[in-house]
Amino acid sequence: MATGVFMPKLSMTMEQGTIIQWFKQEGDDVREGELLLEVMTDKINIEVEAYATGKLLKIYYGANQTVPVNQIIAYIGEADEVVPEHPPALDETARQAAEAGANEPGAAAAPETAAQEQKIRATPVARRIARENGLALEQIKGSGPNGRIHRIDVEQALARRSAQAAPPVKEPIRSSAPSPLRQRKLEGMRRVIAQRMAQSAFTAPHVTLTTEADMSRAIELRTELLPAVEKATGLRLSYTEVIVKAVATALVRHPHINVSLQDDVLIERDEVNVGLAVAVPDGLLVPVVKHADRRGLAELTAECKRLAGLAREGKLLPDDMRGGSFTISNLGMYAIDAFTPIINPPEIAILGVGRIHEKPVGVNGQILLRPMMTLSLSFDHRAVDGAPAAAFLQEIKEILESPWQLLV
């Protein structure tokens, strides 16, 4: 009997995945444990192995197609077996079959086999690409744990080899005719981000509240704590960590914001897990600071910088991006005063942070220059009303303006 290949469910909140590429084509022989396809979920690529041996009889979905979890996407079986022309409906039988084995979180994430557990550690796809391009793994430095070689390491090595072998670039012949417009298809991470943002923008009724915080005392606090934090961690305390701590404290005091909305059900979160939007080439990743309310500023400094570094290097693990209950998007490093952030579903709110800059402010009857920072809270009006959302934003403002309470 033919075996269905399911879109794997790799986390409790995952609802769909996007097929990046198939490593096998219809009619190819497949062995159990071989790499079958690559899937993107939660903005992370996962290599999926075959969990049956036979021929790949049918592929129902191709590259860049998004499929619900536990949906049958292909069949593996004997050469003469007949399988449906169209993918079966996602019924209870398919769900049970998927949940029974191949789709447990992490089960499809390409573990190393005994044969691969060699002196040179590398993922299966890294070995395949290196072999196809005549690259010796001994010449590649791995970026993974214990020096394990990942796909990106092989691709970078190929790029370096191509650059060394490339002939000198000649000056192009200029033409008076207009050049055609360059086009680039939405693929991979960019496609997933586009789908998620469109879903959020057109599903959740966004309302954005804006206020300003006087950062004078927060600046003083950071200046006082810089030496102690740097001595403890070797890292410099930034305003990002101060803001994360303020938001986490406010979420504890306003638990109605620390919820998720899934299928018209509000799920109260027991943990305060704050996501940080990090810009990466051609995309955006949101690693999650777990238990942010329980961490001091030194520990937050180490954790935020660790996660941001992994995001920029493309080394985040799926667990680094799971479990978020609220997201912060900080554009303070740019000349941006305020913006309207889009909610990161299934969360119900997101905080946009602008730059700190001096501006004239009325203080006790006087006009003084103060370092002001704009805070923009976008919230899902289905889950929370304006008054409690405003109270939450006001709480963040008051904490930042009296930040010493963060040390209590």
Q: 367 has which bridge partners?
A: 362
Tokens of 37: 């396809």
First to last CA, the chain: 64
Task: Give CA separation, 56 vs 26, 32, 66, 305, in Å.
Answer: 5, 12, 20, 44
> Which secondary structure element, helix H or strand E, spans residue 224, and what is its range?
helix 216-233
Q: 357 has which bridge partners?
A: 372
Q: Strands 29-30 and 54-59, how do they pair?
A: antiparallel
> 357, 372 in Cβ contact below 8 A?
yes
Cα separation, 172 vs 184, whole angstroms: 22
Torsion of CA 65, 69, 73, 74, to 10 degrees: 150
Catalytic annotation, pick one of 29, 91, 319, 381: 381
Cα separation, 378 vs 370, whole angstroms: 25
Tokens of 362: 């009325």
Q: Which sign, positive or negative, has the C-alpha torsion 257, 260, 264, 268? A: negative
Residues 6+ apart with CB under 8 A from 365: none
State whether residue 188 is helix, strand or coil: helix
Angle between helices 216-233 and 386-401 (to 10 degrees): 70
Tokens of 118: 């060699």
The reply to whether 385 belongs to the active site is yes
The reply to whether 80 belongs to the active site is no
What b/e string do you get for 242-258 counting C-beta neighbours within 10 Å, with b at 16 or more? bbbbbbbbbbeebebbb
> 38, 12 in Cβ contact below 8 A?
no
Tokens of 235: 């890292």
Residues annotated catalytic, as ranges:
381, 385
